[in-house]
Structure 1
Amino acid sequence: MTRLWNDPADFADEMAAGFAAANARSVRRVSGGVVRATATPEGQVAVVIGGGSGHYPAFGGLVGQGLAHGAAMGNLFASPSAQQVHAVAAAAHRGGGVLLCYGNYAGDVLNFDAAQERLRAEGIACETVVVTDDISSASAEEREKRRGIAGDLTVFRAAAAAAEAGYGLAEVARAARLANDRTRSFGVAFTGCTLPGAEAPLFTVPEGRMAIGLGIHGEPGIGEADVPSADALADLLVERLLAELPDGVAVRGARVVPVLNGLGSLKYEELFVVYRRVAERLEAAGALITDPHVGEYCTSFDMAGASLTLYWPDDELARLWETPVDAPAYRRGAVAPAEREAAAVTTAATEAIPEADEASRNAAATVHKVLEVLAAEIDTHADELGRIDAVAGDGDHGIGMRRGSRAALTAAAQARDAGAGARTLLARAADAWSDKAGGTSGALWGVILANLAEALGDQGKPTAAAVAEGVAAGAEGVIAYGKAQLGDKTLVDALVPFSDTLTAAVLAGRSLPEAWATASEAATRAAAATADLLPRMGRARPHAEKALGTPDPGAHSFALITAAVAATLAEDAAAQQERDLA
């Protein structure tokens, strides 16, 4: 278990600051993550990687000469926000365009894609390659749905080496895709991992058993078996991977780079015992072992487990593999000396607060109060939300919601004190939420609040109809952005019934507190009903059966929030009625 932290919600930020301070020769801190501390030639493609924290040396430890130019570092087990990815990419860009490369997880796809759109809108050429090496997370026929685990390393190296060799952006992306096509991984775990501050691991494995086919975010495996001997484990890993070779690869006579990866708690000595048998099996099959890797390359906090990656480079990829690398956690060969990058001095621009009338400022005070209640409700239930999320996901929902709601409240307080109206206050809260929370839920709550903010405006008292219209726009935005539909076991399953009921009640002439209360009841029923659904989106999808009987954490947290807000609106309405009668 993890033992050292201050506030768990601050762990990722404090970890990133300490990592940068400890590795100043290789990296420098920028908003959202780190970039190389050494100068990059003008015109070279910038390879920007990233993902959630908790996987060291991925992702910051792989930034340096010959490897990534920058890494966006998200919250614990949560994707970096679009703002973080954009900030790191902008800092790393040197005129040759940007390749974004990361593991294939829903939150990462949402946020990296949003950052890519913004970069392109600013005139920066940008391409994306997602890593899909984990054979346990989807069938060979649906390889595009597979997640990225320790095979990230081979794809990142191919992309960065191509950039170092002077390839253009399109060719760097091609090399990365080719490396991904030729990489396969499979893993097991003997214990789950424990997030800082959590009282229990994200999942447990019975004594003497192991989980087969796990993910790096603490997702449970797709099966269980008795803990084997070291040789039997090596046999299992090799046999699973040799059963699915990349197109055009025949084992006998083929180069292979084996990467035996420890997930956090296995000792190197144990890994060496396992690798001994891995090498024997590969050599017996006729493969030509090249540059074997044994160690920690993509971890999951303190998880006891291991994964094996087999990378089958062709002639081009083999040449690129020889590129020297000097990063904080990964070195190969000797890189040429490079000058230090002169850190740009940037001053955060303070955007002016638009004018607002007294009615809108009063409404802004109400919105701030609602956000206070919301943040308090999340604080109360954060552990529960993490537990629900850990049943078939990665257990980060409580931490992410806490970080997002706290950031939103801080931004709202600053906007309120500056005299902001309701729209401006909520819009700034929305941006802060999506930035600090990261992950899928952070992005989607940013969409909900931003759409609601536009409906409130900065002039006049918002009407019940305006609130209903804003919520409806938020629901439409979430569906368009996240691609989930009703029945997929996501936030959408509570959000849509809430929005539909709120709109109907307002159209029927109900006051906002009354309409909101009715809609909250609908959301609560709908969230509870998600326990009977199988997930069809996100990290829970590979473990669909495990999620039966447990509500979706996003839908559940949404229902909790709407109920808390309903109580606040009712209290405010009663207080106003007393004032009117006085």
Structure 2
Amino acid sequence: MTRLFNDPTAFADEFAEGFVAANRRTVRAVSGGVVRATAVPPGQVAVIIGGGSGHYPAFGGLVGQGLAHGAALGNIFASPSAGQVYSVAKAAETGGGVLLTYGNYAGDVLNFDAAQDRLRAEGIACETVTTTDDISSAGPAERDRRRGVAGNLCVFKIAAAAAEEGRELAEVVRLARLANDRTRSMGVAFGGCTLPGAGAPLFEVPAGKMAVGLGIHGEPGLSETDVPTADELAELLVGNLLRELPDGVPTPAGARVVPILNGLGSVKYEELYVVYRRVAQLLEDAGAVIVEPEVGEFCTSLDMAGASLTLFWLDDELEALWLAPADTPAYRKGSVTAAAAVDQATLDAAADADVPPASDESRAAAVIIDAALAAIQDTLDRSVDELGRLDAIAGDGDHGIGMQRGARAGRAAAAEALAAGAGAGTLLIKAADAWADRAGGTSGALWGVALRALGERLGDADPAFSAAVVEGVAAARDGVINYGKAEVGDKTMVDALVPFADTLAAALGEGADLVEAWRRAADSATKAAAATSDLLPRKGRARPHAEKSLGTPDPGAHSFALIVVAVGDVLDGAVGG
């Protein structure tokens, strides 16, 4: 179990603080994560990685010369927000464009895609390569659905080495995709990991059994089997991986391969080397040529008892990049030519907290929005247990606490912006980023998207007229659907959001004022959220346990309805009939 912590909710932040304090030669802290502490040549492609905390040395430990330029660090096992990814990328890029590369998980895809859109909107060239090396998570015909595990390292290393050589963004992307195509991984676990402050592991494996094909968060694997000997484990992993060779490697005989034996947290180096002894024998017996193997911890899962094997099949181009030097807190290869440290005083000159000027009308609207966010916080504080109970029926039970964290952070950011004289648009955008940063997960990302879209439509120059609110709500709806990929009927927040947006627009079109239109829309959302009880989930973590949720409303739709009702009460008091 995870034994050493202070406030469990601050664990990821305190980890990051200590990590930077211990590695100031190679990394420095920025909003949302870490970037290199050494200067990067102008025009070099910035390789940005990231994901949830709890997987060290992924992801911050892989930032430094020859490897990543920056890493966005989410909460424990939670994707970094779009704002965090954007902030890290902005801090790291030097004019050559940005490559975002990370494991293929729904929350990460949503947030990194949103950050990519923001970067592109500012004229920064940005591309994405998701890692999909885990053969247990989908079949060969659905490789794009596979999750990324310890094979992340191969893609990160190749992309970064190519960037270090001065290659352009398109070439860095090509090589990262090639590395991903030639990487295969498989993992096993003997026991689950325990989140800081939790009373029990995230999952359990029966005594004397081993889960085969488990993911790095405990996602279901292929099967359970008796705990093998070290040699038997090597034979299981190598045998399965050799049955799926990548295109361009017709046979292992004569092929060059990098084996990476990865400990997931509690399986220690001595055990790994016993296993690797047999891994090497098996690969050599198959005729493969082993090139600079790695044994250790490269993508962990807190204290999970388990291990994974990655096989990275090289060609001439990939081999040269794999052998290139790197110097990071957790991964070193060869000898780099040390770069100069960045000038921190110059970096600190940018005033992130400044707010743009706003009209008197927009600042007056910001007061109402701040009050609405306060009401949302109060509502979610009262509903946190109920939302967690609803989510636990078919999900992981964290919706209530996630929404509570997001609302509190959003309100705090809004209050700070209001005190600085922010208009309605800036206040909502700052609240959106703070909400997404603290809430984590898919719901946090979607609320960040929604509030940002509303803020962008309201702006700071014009009064918050009813038409701007309707446009903003419509943009929020479109953004949530675009990034979340859910439709009405999938049993998600979208089932309440779409009727809310449609009813709001229709009521205003019929001549109702904003307060009355909002009331009608909130009533529509409440009824739609209740109706999700009759649906089976087709998206998100509840989908694998769909039948369990029948008869229970979707927690995301339910929390959305609670929020818009609370906002309606504030509008009624502030604007009147």
Q: Which residue of 2 aligns with 1:243?
A: 243
1:533 and 2:532 matched: no
Q: How does 1:36-185 map to 2 (within 5 A)?
A: 36-185=36-185
For residues 547 and 365 of structure 2, what CA distance do their matches in structure 1 show? 45
Q: Name which of structure 1's ranges 206-215 and 380-389 shifts more when overlaid on structure 2.
A: 380-389
Aligned sequence identity (%): 61
Matched AA of 2:555: H
- Per the TM alignment, residue 451 of structure 1 is displaced from its structure 2 partner at its CA by 4.1
Aligned counterparts of 1:28 and 1:379: Cα–Cα separation in 2? 35
* Cα distance in structure 1, aligned partners of 2:469 and 2:43: 48
How far is the alpha carbon of 1:219 from its aligned partner?
2.2
Partner of 2:216: 216
Q: 1:368 aligns with which of 373, 379, 392?
A: 373
Q: Which residue of 2 aligns with 1:524?
A: 529
C-alpha distance in structure 1 between counterparts of 2:259 and 2:54, whole Å: 23
Please state how far the C-alpha of 1:549 moved relative to its aligned partner: 1.0
Please, what TM-score do these two structures have when normalized by structure 2?
A: 0.87
Deviates more, 1:75-84 or 1:137-146: 75-84
Matches within 5 A, 1:502-513: 511=516
Contact 1:31 1:84 in 2 (8 A): yes
Deviation at 1:337, TM superposition (A): 3.0
Q: What is the CA-CA distance between 1:514 and the residue it aligns to? A: 5.3
Taking the aligned partners of 1:296 and 1:381, their CA distance within structure 2 comes to 39
Is residue 266–residue 305 contact of structure 1 (8 Å, CA) maintained in 2? Answer: yes
> Once the 2 structures are TM-superposed, how far is the Cα of residue 455 of structure 1 from its aligned partner?
7.1
Q: Deviations over 1:377-416 (max 9, x none)?
A: 464457547745755xxx7655543432221010222344
Residue 348 of structure 2 is aligned to residue 345 of structure 1: yes
Alpha-carbon distance in 1 for matches of 2:390, 2:17: 27
Q: 1:502 to 1:125 in 2, by over 3 A?
A: closer
Task: Name the counterpart of 1:261.
Answer: 262
Larger CA deviation: 33-42 vs 144-153: 33-42
Residue matched to 2:409: 407
CA contact (8 A) 1:373 1:564 kept: no
Displacement after TM superposition at 1:206 (Å): 2.5
Partner amino acid, structure 1, of 2:141:
E
Query: Using the alignment, how far apart are the partners of 1:389 and 1:444 within structure 2?
Result: 20
Q: Which moved more, 1:561-570 or 1:268-277?
A: 561-570
| CA displacement at 1:526 relative to structure 2 | 3.7
In the alignment, is residue 311 of structure 1 matched against residue 312 of structure 2? yes
Q: Which deviates more from structure 2 when the two are superposed, residues 87-96 or residues 262-271? A: 87-96
5+ residue gaps, structure 2, are none
2-side partners of 1:157 and 1:413: how far apart?
Answer: 42
Q: Tell me the number of residue pairs that the alignment of Structure 1 and Structure 2 aligns.
A: 568
Structure 1 contact 98–169 (Cα < 8 Å) conserved: yes
Q: Is the 8 A contact 2:531 2:553 kept in 1?
A: no
| Residues 1:407 and 1:232: Cα distance change in structure 2 (over 3 Å) | same
Aligned Cα RMSD in Å? 3.4
| 2:520 aligned residue | 515
The alignment partner of 1:67 has SS state of: coil
Residue 326 of structure 1, CA deviation: 1.4
Following superposition of structure 1 onto structure 2, how do residues 169-568 of structure 1 map, counting pairs within 5 Å? 169-249=169-249, 250-343=251-344, 344-349=347-352, 350-352=354-356, 354-357=358-361, 360=365, 363-364=368-369, 366-377=371-382, 379-380=384-385, 384=389, 387=392, 391=396, 397=399, 400-417=402-419, 425-453=427-455, 470-499=472-501, 511=516, 515=520, 518-530=523-535, 532-535=536-539, 540=541, 544-550=543-549, 555-563=554-562, 566=565
Work out the CA distance in 1 between the residues paired with 2:478 and 2:424: 21
Shift of 1:486: 2.7
Amino acid at match of 1:294: V
**In 1, Cα distance between equivalents of 2:518 and 2:109:** 37
SS of structure 2 residue aligned to 1:548: helix
Q: TM-score, normalised to structure 1's length? A: 0.86
Checking the alignment, whether the CA contact within 8 Å between 2:355 and 2:417 is kept in structure 1 is: no
Tell me, yes or no, if the aligned pair for 2:34 and 2:71 is still in contact at 8 Å.
yes
Question: Measured at CA, do residues 360 and 398 of structure 1 come closer, stay the same or move farther in structure 2, by a change above 3 Å?
Answer: closer
**Structure 2: distance between partners of 1:58 and 1:451:** 31
